[in-house]
């Protein structure tokens, strides 16, 4: 081969390397989520492995025409019916909204479609926002910092950050459900304790002055109405985020007796007076009630006290203490009350960016664990933080990661963490209005699953294989069946027409 041919080959080699490197850069920037080629088959499947060899890969499978003789068959039992699902998602905090708005419009729209679109993405359908500031807001504030409820008003954080993002999400998914939770009331409504009733001019801790229960209920109403004026309907609220946590940068202690009084005699009447049908979920805190003996069973104590409004739908839980078995205990005692899971986080304390660890544990404990114990919605904490775990503030969580983290040097490179995948695996196949149904058959240590019947005439199953071995699993709905080899250490979601 002469020198000229060598040079031609060398130029071709450089061109191929350049193309390969450029593609790798694009894949890192977009995490491989380029427009997918259509997949055809009776069953739509999404697969994520904890080593990212399969990264929410979309596949298809046809029904089998052979007789089902597989010993590893999960058989659906639609006659066994459990809770009706409301949806899955993450919190749109001030920090999340700020980060999203640093992206280009093109990149932001692409990410929001990937996350919230029911036709072009995961179809996440339930978000949580703060009423006033949270510990992931850009500052500490309330919506009525000047004493007097007549001084209520939305602030820059709502008007410039959260509301614009919510409008973009609603344009993608008009059926989005939104929950609101306050971290703190205005400081002028707070006292040091319910005995001394001395003013408590701090965002952290304090208690709600009973004198202002009525004004604080009006505060909720005004907030719901203010969002409505922007075309944003509030589906649900909790009376207080983490009512037993005095230590957050923005916080309020509200024991169960206080919450009972506030909700029963002030919040419910004010909502009804304003003709609002916003659902109320009590508690909104940990499974173990922060080990406070007099607060043990917090929402059940309120139920026992006789709270009687149809607006009080049920209770909300976090998992920063205790075990998910508490959900089943509450459900068994009060089967007609709803359960929702509203907050969990990953961070430096639990190896939060290590998908090999977190995908398995979070799918088992948070996603399938809460759903299989009766929760009709699952919401994780910040949808998006930056690569420095912010914006954050002293006194709040400075060690938290987001469901996704965006590189603050360019606001275009996104790292998708476990919480993004676990919500996506549920929301992609389990749609609002779906009913969790029973199953029989295959059961083995290391495998966890949930099955559902959607309102659109489809079945859905979400399956976790936490073992180190792939296994061929058959799903059978009584009419059709199919088999699929579930990879080791993976999550697989299925949906098919009945």
Q: What is the pLDDT of residues 419-471, one digit of tens each?
A: 999 999 999 999 999 999 999 999 999 999 999 999 999 999 999 999 999 99
Model confidence band, residue 177 (pLDDT cutoffs 50, 70, 90): very high
- SS3 at position 203: coil
In angstroms, rounded to a whole number, what is the distance separating the alpha carbons of residues 399 and 389? Answer: 7
Structure-block tokens of residue 255? 């024991």
Which candidate, 309, 336, 307, 324, places its Cα nearest to that of 368? 324
> Euclidean distance between the first and final Cα of the chain, in Å?
63
- How many other CB atoms sit within 10 Å of the CB of residue 137? 26
Which stretch of DSSP H or E encloses residue 441?
Answer: strand 435-441
Query: Under 8 Å CB-to-CB from 371, ≥6 apart: which residues?
Result: 85, 378, 426, 436, 450
Share of the chain above pLDDT 90, in %: 91
Beta strands in 147-198 (DSSP E): 177-182, 190-191
54-65 residues labelled b (16+ CB within 10 A) or e (exposed): bbbeeeebeeee
Q: Which of 390, 407, 429 is the last residue of a domain?
A: 429
Torsion on CA atoms 455, 460, 462, 463, rounded to nearest 10: 150
d(CA 339, CA 149): 32
**With the C-alpha atoms ordered 429, 432, 434, 440, is the resulting torsion angle positive or negative?**
positive
Residue 203 to residue 248: CA distance in whole angstroms: 9
**473 part of a folded domain:** yes
Burial of 5 from C-beta contacts in 10 A (0-12 / 13-18 / 19+): exposed
Q: Is residue 12 part of a domain?
A: no
Say whether pLDDT at 29 is over 80: no
* pLDDT of amino acid 25: 28
Q: How far apart are CA 6 and CA 322, in angstroms?
A: 68
Question: Do 74 and 160 sit in the same domain of this protein?
Answer: no
| Residues forming beta bridges with residue 416, ordered by sequence position | 404
Q: Is 353 in the same domain as 454?
A: no
Q: pLDDT tens digits, residue range 295-334?
A: 999 999 999 999 988 999 999 999 999 999 999 999 999 9
Q: Report whether pLDDT(219) > 90.
A: yes
Residues 442 and 422 in one domain: no
Is there a single domain that holds both residue 102 and residue 56?
A: no
Whether residue 266 sits in one domain with residue 390: yes
Question: Model confidence at 19, in pLDDT bands (50, 70, 90)?
Answer: very low
Return all residues near 291 (Cβ < 8 A) that are at least 6 apart: 321
In a domain, 22, yes or no: no
pLDDT of residue 9: 46
Query: Is the per-residue pLDDT at 37 higher than 60?
Result: no
| Residue pair 42/482 in contact by the 8 Å Cβ criterion | yes
Q: What is d(CA 59, CA 7) in angstroms, rounded to the nearest whole number?
A: 42
Average pLDDT over residues 265-273: 98
80: nearest Cα among 444, 439, 401:
439
Question: What is the C-alpha separation between 121 and 428, in angstroms, rounded?
Answer: 7
CATH number of residue 145's parent domain:
3.20.20.80
- 441 with 323, same domain: the answer is no
* pLDDT score for 38: 67
Quote the CA–CA distance of 404 and 371 in Å, as a whole number. 22
For residue 246, is it within any domain? yes
Q: What is the CATH number of the domain that holds 477?
A: 2.60.40.1180
- So what's the pLDDT on residue 27? 33
What's the token pair of residue 56?
Answer: 């929410």
In a 13 Å sphere around the CA of 405, the CA atoms on its Cβ side amount to 22
| Beta strand extents in 251-355 (DSSP E only) | 279-286, 312-318, 338-343, 346-347
Asked which of 6-10, 223-227, 283-287 is least confident by mean pLDDT, the reply is 6-10
Instruction: DSSP letter for 295, please.
Output: G
What value does the mean pLDDT of the chain take? 93
- The number of distinct structural domains making up the chain is 2
Average pLDDT (67-84) is: 97
Average pLDDT over residues 148-169: 98
Domain check: are 415 and 482 in the same one? Answer: no
**pLDDT tens, 113-141?**
999 999 999 999 999 999 999 999 999 99
Give residue for tokens 């709270």.
307
Identify whether residues 446 and 400 lie together within a single domain: no
SS3 at position 444: coil
Span 262-281, average pLDDT: 98
Residue 337 lies in a domain: yes
Question: Which residue(s) pair with 459 in the sheet?
Answer: 453, 496
250 and 348 part of one domain = yes
Domain that holds residue 452: 42-82+437-497
* Residues 170, 240 within the same domain: yes
Question: CA torsion, points 464, 469, 474, 475, in degrees to nearest 10?
Answer: 0
In this structure, is the dihedral angle defined by the CA atoms of residues 141, 145, 150 and 151, taken in order, positive or negative? Answer: negative
Cis peptide before 367 (omega within 30 of 0): no
> Torsions phi, psi of 476, nearest 5?
-135, 120
Place 40 in a pLDDT band, splitting at 50, 70 and 90: confident
Buried b (16+ CB within 10 A) or exposed e, 254-278: bbbebbbbbbbebbbebbeeeebeb
3 confidence band (pLDDT: 50, 70, 90): very low
Clarify whether residues 363 and 480 are in a common domain: no
Q: Are residues 217 and 312 in the same domain?
A: yes
Per DSSP, what are the bridge partners of residue 317?
285, 341
Whole-number pLDDT of residue 130: 98
Picking from 429, 457, 475, the residue at the C-terminal end of a domain is 429
Q: Among 373, 401, 429, where does a domain finish? A: 429
Query: 27 lies in a domain?
Result: no
- pLDDT grade for 151, boundaries at 50, 70 and 90: very high
């Amino acid at each position: 081969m002469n020198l000229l041919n060598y040079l031609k080959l060398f130029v071709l080699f450089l061109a191929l390397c350049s193309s390969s490197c450029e593609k790798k850069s694009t894949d890192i920037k977009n995490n491989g989520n380029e427009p997918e080629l259509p997949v055809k088959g009776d069953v739509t499947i999404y697969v994520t492995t904890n080593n990212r060899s399969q990264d929410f890969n979309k596949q298809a499978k046809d029904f089998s025409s052979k007789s089902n003789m597989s010993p590893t068959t999960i058989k659906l039992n639609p006659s066994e019916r459990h809770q009706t699902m409301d949806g899955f998602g993450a919190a749109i905090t001030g920090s999340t909204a700020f980060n999203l708005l640093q992206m280009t419009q093109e990149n932001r729209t692409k990410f929001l479609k990937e996350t919230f679109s029911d036709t072009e993405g995961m179809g996440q359908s339930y978000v949580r926002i703060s009423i006033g500031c949270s510990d992931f807001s850009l500052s500490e504030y309330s919506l009525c910092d000047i004493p007097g409820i007549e001084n209520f008003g939305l602030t820059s954080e709502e008007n410039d950050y959260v509301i614009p993002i919510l409008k973009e999400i609603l344009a993608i998914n008009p059926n989005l459900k939104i929950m609101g939770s306050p971290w703190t009331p205005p400081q002028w409504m707070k006292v040091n304790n319910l005995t001394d009733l001395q003013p408590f001019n701090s965002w952290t801790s304090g208690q709600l002055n009973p004198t202002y229960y009525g004004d604080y209920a009006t505060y909720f109403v005004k907030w719901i109405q203010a969002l409505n004026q922007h075309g944003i309907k509030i589906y649900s609220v909790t009376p207080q985020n983490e009512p037993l946590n005095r230590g957050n940068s923005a916080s309020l202690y509200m024991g169960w007796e206080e919450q009972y009084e506030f909700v029963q005699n002030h919040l419910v009447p004010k909502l009804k007076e304003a003709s609002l049908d916003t659902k109320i979920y009590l508690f909104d805190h940990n499974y173990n009630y922060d080990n406070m003996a007099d607060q043990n069973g917090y929402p059940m104590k309120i139920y026992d006290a006789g709270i009687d409004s149809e607006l009080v739908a049920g209770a909300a839980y976090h998992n920063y203490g205790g075990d998910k078995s508490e959900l089943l205990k509450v459900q068994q005692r009060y089967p007609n009350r709803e359960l929702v899971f509203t907050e969990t986080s990953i961070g430096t304390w639990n190896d939060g960016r290590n998908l090999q660890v977190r995908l398995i544990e979070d799918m088992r404990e948070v996603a399938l664990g809460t759903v299989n114990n009766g929760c009709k919605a699952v919401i994780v904490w910040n949808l998006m933080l930056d690569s420095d775990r912010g914006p954050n503030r002293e006194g709040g969580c400075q060690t938290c990661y987001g469901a996704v983290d965006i590189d603050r040097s360019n606001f275009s490179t996104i790292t998708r963490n476990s919480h993004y995948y676990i919500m996506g695996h549920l929301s992609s196949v389990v749609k609002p209005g779906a009913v969790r149904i029973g199953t029989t058959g295959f059961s083995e240590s290391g495998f966890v699953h949930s099955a559902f019947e959607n309102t659109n005439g489809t079945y859905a199953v979400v399956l976790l294989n936490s073992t180190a071995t792939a296994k061929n699993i058959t799903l059978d709905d009584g009419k059709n069946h199919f088999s699929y080899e579930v990879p080791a250490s993976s999550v697989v979601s299925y949906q098919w027409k009945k």
